[in-house]
């Protein structure tokens, strides 16, 4: 078994940016050079659902393949909301239909065909369900409904209903919506940021590395909001995560303003330095190929402790990593 | 009622803020208008004379005109110190003041009364008088310009005021009706009515003498319709550029865009905002009067040029900004002031108003007295080759605590933090450092202005940086005074009402 830190060695000049923390969530930005040759995010578009459980994406770039970040979801009017079962690769100037997608709005009919959609990434809890290779590859549109119901069940403001598996009941609820927006506003991408380590109460819950800073800039909000922010709300409301905030360093009363600056800087530096041992402690349990397109290979990583996610390589060099831990 | 006297009600612009969709903002601000109106109509009317956005003032005028001004249930409508006509005077004052700088906005505010911008139609005698007196109680020269620049909009307003039937009669020669509604303000205005409703004004009405622009318009239209290019080109310099471009496009005239962009008339603001379009069209560059521009527009123009590496006129813009800042009325926050400016990514604003919060922040710095130091947190610097210009663009995170420490080290007595209030660091670091300094005897004040404006920002998106530092949402540097008045209004409504009555008497006139 390799440690997660070794898996991360593929990123050249990987550095750590300014630590950002709000309530129980801490985001440690990872900065570095771009990876591989991947289409800019603007070239990739969700186009339609052809049947329940299918999602089509188009890559308009004529030179480079595009990567759909893991578990992207689309929500819109007069059609059933959908989510990807994993990440996806769409080759240059082409469309690709993913037939193992999940419906995430059980009693709404209709297909998407070009209308405006809101995008996000599935909450961590639901992403974890899709780490099971059998569930991920299954072509059954309702495969996530049971888990969605369970996920929604602990949330006080979500409309109750026997068989209702509408993830939008959470995302459209005004209080949760505002909380997620406010939450996302507390974090900002930093220069050359290509990824982040996300922690709840100081424990890693996610590791995301995109092919470039442009990709991070395009997707960070959906990750922080939809994936990690929503999970944090869920955990807090269901009492699974105790309230906590980072304890700030004591400043001696006789400290000069220059000393204050040094104490606070040291505090931040210590957090940055704590990353390596944390990642070193996470072991990669298995790594299996789930998709191959041209020179792009997607593998499903499983970590000890029930986490995992996708790593995508281009010409055998990793260009994308998304793990929920 | 829940007292919600937030200055946001005067600063609404119908475009999304960074964190809130516009419909949410509109709902929040409408609630505030309704609440204050219901609470105290006079206070509502007086509040509208403070600096605010055109849209807010239009919506407040709409509220006043759509509710009859008769006393209800014993409530006194006209407080001491005000005359019975004060509401009409306030409405008229707001419109005139707005028209001096933004005529298009003033006209759109009137159109709100005719159902514009999602408002309900208001049709009563007060409304008719407000519209028609605004349009026609002015010299022929001004009516002439209005009728050319805002032809369709004016037609809609006149139709709304007169009603279809009376309009038909006026257009068909009912002079008594014309005198009653329009002639009472300007007896010569009949050719204008013909023009607005696409009837060629008759030369016998003395149009050339009183309304030369309308005459030029019809001559140009005639030339365009008959393909008389030579004649049309001669008339281009006399036409507003949008009108000339409209004729060119409607009649498919074989004239280059550059001929119109380079020759037709433009306002000072249009010259600035279309500077890049003029350049792209291939027309020779127009001489832009930078000194006549607003500080915000100058910053915007400077950033546009910096972003696109355009060096032309950049020194002139910088000089105009310097002159503007030197002469503008400043707000005195006390001695030895330092500014901590948040230049993080979120200060870029929404796609609909790119750079707005950051540019507002820059303008606010210019509107404050005694600024000794500015500490910029976050951002990405950009220099322009071949010039000494270097500016910071919003980017990255904003560890605001660092800015505070630097400001304290500088010895500032008053520290103004311009930020959305999100620390993008470990939450609470600002307050931690702030409290340490306060508790250990450092003597300074901190004020927090939030330019990422949203109507409900006090309770919603503007975060408090420290317990005793209340964030003030300011969407436009011109509204600093408004914000300070509203802050007092929360504590003492009656005292503020008296301040506003005094302001009314000073600006509009007493009994």
Of B344, B428, B437, the CB nearest to A188: B344
Query: What's residue B132's pLDDT?
Result: 96
Closest Cα to residue B196, out of B152, B139, B141?
Answer: B152
Closest Cα to residue B243, out of B263, B273, B272?
Answer: B263
Residues of chain B contacting A20 with CB distance shorter than 8 Å: 397, 424-426
Determine contact: B392 vs chain A, CB below 8 A: no
Instruction: Tell me the pLDDT tens digit for each residue of B124-181.
Output: 999 999 999 999 999 999 999 999 999 999 999 999 999 999 999 999 999 999 999 9
Query: What's residue A291's pLDDT?
Result: 96
Contact B424 A186 (CB under 8 A): yes
Confidence of residue A57 (pLDDT cuts 50, 70, 90): very high
Instruction: Tell me the pLDDT tens digit for each residue of A288-298.
Output: 999 999 999 99
Query: What's residue A45's pLDDT?
Result: 96
Determine contact: A192 vs chain B, CB below 8 A: no
Helices in A154-240 by DSSP H: which ranges? 168-171, 174-185, 213-222, 230-237
Instruction: Give the pLDDT mean for B253-270.
Output: 78
**How far apart are alpha carbons A65 and A71 in whole angstroms?**
18
Contact A191 B380 (CB under 8 A): yes
ipTM for the whole complex: 0.83
Determine contact: B348 vs chain A, CB below 8 A: no
On whether the CB atoms of residues B400 and B420 are closer than 8 A, the answer is no
Q: Does the structure show a pLDDT above 80 at B385? A: yes
Q: What are phi and psi of B335, to 5 degrees?
A: -75, 160
User: How far is CA B94 from each of CA A43, A126, B45, B129, B507, rounded to the nearest angstrom?
Assistant: 48, 55, 10, 15, 11
Contact A18 B424 (CB under 8 A): yes
Determine contact: B327 vs chain A, CB below 8 A: no
3-state secondary structure of B450: strand
Determine contact: B464 vs chain A, CB below 8 A: no
CA distance B96 to chain A (A): 39
| A104 dihedral zone (left: phi>0; alpha: psi -120 to 50; beta) | alpha
Contact B461 A268 (CB under 8 A): no
Q: Does the structure show a pLDDT above 90 at B267? A: no
Contact A186 B440 (CB under 8 A): no
> What average pLDDT does chain A have?
91
Determine contact: A250 vs chain B, CB below 8 A: no
On whether the CB atoms of residues A276 and A204 are closer than 8 A, the answer is no
Closest Cα to residue B415, out of B467, B368, B462, B360?
Answer: B368
Contact A20 B345 (CB under 8 A): no
* Better-scored residue on pLDDT, B369 or A211: A211
Q: Which helix (H) or strand (E) holds B471?
A: strand B471-473
Query: What's residue A301's pLDDT?
Result: 94
Residues of chain B contacting A185 with CB distance shorter than 8 Å: 18-19, 346, 420, 422, 461
Contact A257 B440 (CB under 8 A): no
Mutate to test the interface with A, among B425, B437, B456, B460 (most CBs of A within 10 A): B425
What is the number of other CB atoms lying within 10 angstroms of the CB of residue B41?
A: 22
Instruction: Domain ranges for chain A, please list them.
Output: 2-241+259-324
User: How far is CA B450 from each of CA B295, B396, B416, B446, B480, rounded to the nearest angstrom?
Assistant: 19, 18, 11, 13, 11
Residues of chain A contacting B423 with CB distance shorter than 8 Å: 186
Q: Does the structure show a pLDDT above 50 at B461? A: no
3-state secondary structure of A164: coil
Instruction: Give the pLDDT mean for A143-152.
Output: 94
Determine contact: B18 vs chain A, CB below 8 A: yes
Q: Does the structure show a pLDDT above 50 at A140? A: yes
Q: Name the pTM for this structure.
A: 0.71
**How far apart are alpha carbons B312 and B255 in whole angstroms?**
27
Residues of chain B contacting A29 with CB distance shorter than 8 Å: 397
On whether the CB atoms of residues B257 and B236 are closer than 8 A, the answer is no
Residues 6 or more apart whose CB falls under 8 angstroms from that of B491 comprise none
Contact A264 B423 (CB under 8 A): no
Mutate to test the interface with B, among A25, A26, A29, A264 (most CBs of B within 10 A): A264
Contact A178 B460 (CB under 8 A): yes
Closest Cα to residue A59, out of A83, A42, A77, A79?
Answer: A42
Determine contact: A255 vs chain B, CB below 8 A: yes
Contact B425 A21 (CB under 8 A): yes
Please give the structure tokens belonging to residue A74: 């689309």
Report whether CATH 3.40.50 matches the domain B331-475.
yes
Residues of chain B contacting A26 with CB distance shorter than 8 Å: 426
Instruction: Domain ranges for chain B, please list them.
Output: 7-197, 215-288, 331-475
CA distance A130 to chain B (A): 31
Of B378, B426, B433, the CB nearest to A19: B426
Q: Please, what is the end-to-end C-alpha distance for chain B in angstroms?
A: 31
**How far apart are alpha carbons B171 and B328 in whole angstroms?**
48
On whether the CB atoms of residues A221 and A41 are closer than 8 A, the answer is no
Confidence of residue B458 (pLDDT cuts 50, 70, 90): very low
Determine contact: A299 vs chain B, CB below 8 A: no
Mutate to test the interface with A, among B424, B430, B431 (most CBs of A within 10 A): B424
Instruction: Tell me the pLDDT tens digit for each residue of B76-95.
Output: 556 666 777 889 899 999 99
Q: Does the structure show a pLDDT above 70 at B276? A: yes
β-strands A66-68, B414-418 pairing: unpaired
Please give the structure tokens belonging to residue B255: 């004239």
Query: What's residue A12's pLDDT?
Result: 67
Determine contact: A262 vs chain B, CB below 8 A: no
Least confident of A101-110, B396-405, B497-506: B497-506
């Amino acid at each position: 078994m390799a440690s997660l830190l070794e898996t991360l060695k593929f990123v050249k000049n990987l550095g750590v940016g300014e630590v950002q923390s709000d309530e129980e969530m801490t985001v440690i930005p990872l900065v570095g050079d771009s990876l591989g040759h991947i289409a800019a995010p603007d070239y990739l578009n969700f186009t339609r659902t052809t049947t329940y459980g299918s999602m089509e994406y188009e890559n308009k770039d004529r030179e480079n393949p595009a990567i759909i970040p893991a578990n992207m979801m689309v929500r819109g009017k007069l059609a059933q909301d959908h989510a990807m079962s994993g990440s996806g690769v769409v080759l240059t100037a082409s469309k690709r239909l993913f037939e193992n997608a999940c419906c995430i709005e059980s009693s709404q009919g209709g297909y998407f065909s070009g209308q405006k959609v809101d995008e996000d990434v599935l909450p961590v809890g639901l992403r974890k369900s899709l780490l099971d290779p059998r569930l991920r590859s299954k072509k059954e549109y309702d495969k996530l409904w049971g888990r969605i119901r369970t996920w929604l069940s602990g949330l006080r403001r979500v409309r109750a209903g026997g068989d209702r598996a509408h993830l939008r009941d959470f995302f459209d609820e005004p209080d949760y919506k505002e909380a997620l927006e406010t939450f996302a506003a507390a974090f900002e991408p930093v220069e050359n940021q290509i990824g982040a380590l996300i922690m709840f109460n100081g424990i890693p819950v996610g590791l995301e590395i995109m092919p470039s800073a442009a990709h991070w800039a395009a997707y960070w909000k959906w990750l922080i909001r939809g994936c990690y922010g929503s999970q944090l709300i869920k955990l807090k409301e269901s009492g699974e995560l105790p309230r906590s905030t980072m304890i700030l360093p004591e400043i001696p009363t006789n400290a000069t303003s220059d000393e204050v600056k040094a104490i606070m800087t040291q505090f931040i530096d210590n957090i940055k330095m704590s990353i390596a041992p944390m990642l070193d402690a996470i072991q990669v349990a298995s790594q299996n190929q789930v998709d191959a397109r041209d020179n792009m290979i997607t593998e499903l990583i499983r970590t000890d402790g029930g986490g995992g996610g996708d790593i995508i390589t281009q010409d055998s060099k990793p260009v994308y990593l998304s793990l929920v831990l | 009622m829940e007292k919600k006297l937030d200055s946001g009600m005067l600063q609404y612009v119908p475009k999304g803020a960074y964190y809130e969709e516009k419909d949410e903002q509109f709902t929040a601000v409408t609630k505030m208008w309704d609440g204050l109106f219901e609470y105290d109509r006079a206070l509502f009317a007086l509040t509208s004379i403070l600096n605010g956005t055109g849209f807010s003032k239009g919506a407040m005028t709409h509220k006043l005109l759509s509710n009859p001004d008769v006393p209800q249930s014993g409530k006194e409508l006209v407080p001491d110190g005000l005359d019975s006509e004060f509401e009409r005077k306030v409405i008229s004052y707001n419109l005139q003041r707005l028209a001096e700088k933004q005529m298009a906005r003033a006209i759109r505010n009137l159109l709100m009364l005719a159902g514009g911008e999602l408002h309900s139609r208001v049709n009563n005698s007060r409304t008719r008088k407000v519209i028609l007196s605004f349009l026609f109680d002015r010299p022929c020269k001004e009516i002439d310009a209005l009728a050319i620049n805002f032809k369709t909009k004016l037609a809609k307003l006149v139709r709304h005021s007169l009603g279809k039937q009376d309009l038909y009669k006026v257009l068909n020669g009912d002079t008594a009706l014309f005198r009653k509604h329009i002639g009472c303000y300007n007896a010569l205005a009949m050719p204008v009515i013909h023009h607005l409703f696409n009837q060629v004004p008759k030369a016998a009405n003395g149009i050339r003498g009183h309304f030369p622009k309308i005459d030029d318009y019809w001559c140009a239209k005639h030339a365009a319709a008959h393909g008389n290019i030579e004649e049309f080109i001669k008339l281009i310099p006399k036409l507003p550029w949008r009108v000339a471009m409209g004729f060119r496009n409607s009649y498919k005239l074989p004239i280059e865009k550059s001929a119109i962009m380079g020759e037709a008339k433009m306002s000072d603001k249009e010259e600035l905002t279309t500077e890049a379009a003029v350049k792209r069209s291939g027309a020779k560059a127009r001489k832009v009067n930078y000194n006549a521009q607003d500080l915000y527009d100058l910053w915007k123009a400077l950033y546009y040029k910096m972003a696109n590496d355009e060096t032309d006129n950049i020194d002139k813009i910088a000089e105009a900004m310097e002159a503007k800042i030197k002469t503008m009325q400043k707000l005195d926050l006390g001695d030895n002031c330092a500014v901590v400016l948040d230049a993080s990514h979120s200060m870029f604003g929404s796609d609909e108003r790119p750079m707005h919060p950051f540019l507002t922040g820059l303008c606010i710095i210019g509107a404050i007295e005694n600024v000794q130091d500015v500490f910029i947190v976050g951002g990405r610097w950009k220099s322009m080759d071949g010039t000494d210009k270097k500016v910071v663009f919003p980017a990255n995170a904003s560890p605001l605590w660092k800015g505070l420490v630097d400001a304290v080290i500088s010895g500032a007595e008053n520290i103004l933090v311009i930020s959305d209030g999100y620390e993008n660091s470990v939450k609470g670091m600002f307050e931690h450092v702030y409290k340490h300094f306060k508790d250990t005897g450092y003597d300074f004040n901190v004020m927090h202005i939030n330019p990422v404006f949203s109507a409900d920002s006090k309770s919603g998106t503007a975060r408090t940086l420290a317990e005793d530092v209340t964030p003030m949402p300011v969407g436009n540097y011109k509204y600093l005074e408004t914000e300070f008045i509203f802050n007092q209004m929360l504590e003492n409504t009656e005292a503020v009402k008296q301040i506003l009555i005094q302001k009314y008497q000073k600006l509009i006139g007493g009994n």
